[in-house]
């Protein structure tokens, strides 16, 4: 039994004494302890592929920040990397792929791998993290959503517009669907491997969902989320489609338990659209944590007062930014913990 199971209770819609809280990117550069471990590796990919190190930084936020859940330290791009689209993480630029997805030849190069051969280091990190957590809090597994992973490989890197990826959606939709289907199959196998290794919840990150038009996202995004949500029945599923305010009603119909919302989506409006049968996770602007303690507390309380009932998980509307003061993060977390559910 997990000692602090507030997150799981909130996901199930059960009563809790307070709202559970964790942060996306909580295992990261905000912590000096993380930076000390990171410094031992020549590059990021080597770091995440080392189970002992990944498990160590997974546990750090639980020990240091006292959050209500851990999330396995990895990257969404391990999936396309395992599928034959290798990337390098370049300083101050982000991921850059060795090749782009462009045509039928690219489709042939996009392989459906054996996840136990290619991604087993993630499963090993999960097992080590579970041992280290010793049932203190739940462990969250995750994957990138197919639309976002496809956007990356079609663009060849990060982008402010993802125009190359969006161009393919218009000009070669059949090709795009074939690629998305392969990514979806791999993602399902990958998440099931994580579940078998011991995660208690999984989250799908659709980081670039907001770049699509509503029609495009319904066709190339939501239908593949649905396949994953229908396939992952062993543990609760959270869907976080950043920027896709237009898809909240459609996402609410998925077989997921929790829907993450970003800071551009009003909490009360989102609840009215999503309904009362899903848990909502979010949604403080990460920049609110740049303020002084009084300002951080005020913004956190403003968010909390918009929560209604028990089906809420306190989080940011995106990952915590790397130059955020850890003491401000602790102020946010402590404000959540001190707040009494009305």
Catalytically active residues, by annotation? 25, 29, 38, 75, 152
Query: Please, what sign has the CA dihedral across residues 149, 12, 313, 249?
Result: positive
Task: With H, G, I as helix, E, B as strand and everything else as coil, classify residue 211.
Answer: helix
Q: At what angle do helices 51-64 and 120-133 cross, to 10 degrees?
A: 40
d(CA 181, CA 262): 27
- Assess whether the previous peptide bond of 258 is cis (omega < 30° from 0): no
The tokens describing 54, both together, are 């990944």
The tokens describing 243, both together, are 């920027």
* Distance set, CA 293 to CA 41, 158, 181, 306, 335 (Å): 34, 33, 46, 20, 10
* Helix runs in 172-266, H state only: 173-197, 214-217, 223-231, 248-251
d(CA 134, CA 137): 8
């Amino acid at each position: 039994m997990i000692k602090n199971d507030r997150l799981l209770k909130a996901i199930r819609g059960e009563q809790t004494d307070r709202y559970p809280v964790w942060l996306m990117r909580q295992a990261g550069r905000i912590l000096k302890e993380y930076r000390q471990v990171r410094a031992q590796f020549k590059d990021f990919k080597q770091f995440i592929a080392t189970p002992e190190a990944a498990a160590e930084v997974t546990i750090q936020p639980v020990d240091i920040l006292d959050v209500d859940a851990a999330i396995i330290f990895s990257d969404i791009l391990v999936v396309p990397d395992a599928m034959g689209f290798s990337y390098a993480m370049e300083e101050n630029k982000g991921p850059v792929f060795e090749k782009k997805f462009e045509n039928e030849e690219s489709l042939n190069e996009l392989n459906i791998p054996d996840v136990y051969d290619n991604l087993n280091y993630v499963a090993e990190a999960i097992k080590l993290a579970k041992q280290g957590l010793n049932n203190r809090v739940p462990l969250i597994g995750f994957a990138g959503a197919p639309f976002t992973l496809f956007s990356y490989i079609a663009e060849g890197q990060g982008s402010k517009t993802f125009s190359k990826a969006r161009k393919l959606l218009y000009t070669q939709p059949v090709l795009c669907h074939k690629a998305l289907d392969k990514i979806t199959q791999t993602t399902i196998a990958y998440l099931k491997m994580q579940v078998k290794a011991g995660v208690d919840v999984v989250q799908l990150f659709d980081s670039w969902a907001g770049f699509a038009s509503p029609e495009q996202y319904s066709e190339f995004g939501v239908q593949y989320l649905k396949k994953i949500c229908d396939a992952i029945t062993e543990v609760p599923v959270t869907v976080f489609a950043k920027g896709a305010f237009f898809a909240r009603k459609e996402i609410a119909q998925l077989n997921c338990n929790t829907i993450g919302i970003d800071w551009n989506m009003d909490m009360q409006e989102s609840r009215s659209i999503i309904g009362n049968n899903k848990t909502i996770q979010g949604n403080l602007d990460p920049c609110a944590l740049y303020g002084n303690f009084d300002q951080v507390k005020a913004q956190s309380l403003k968010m909390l007062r918009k929560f209604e009932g028990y089906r809420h998980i306190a989080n940011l509307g995106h990952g915590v930014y790397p130059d955020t003061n850890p003491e401000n993060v602790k102020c946010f977390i402590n404000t959540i913990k001190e707040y009494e559910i009305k």
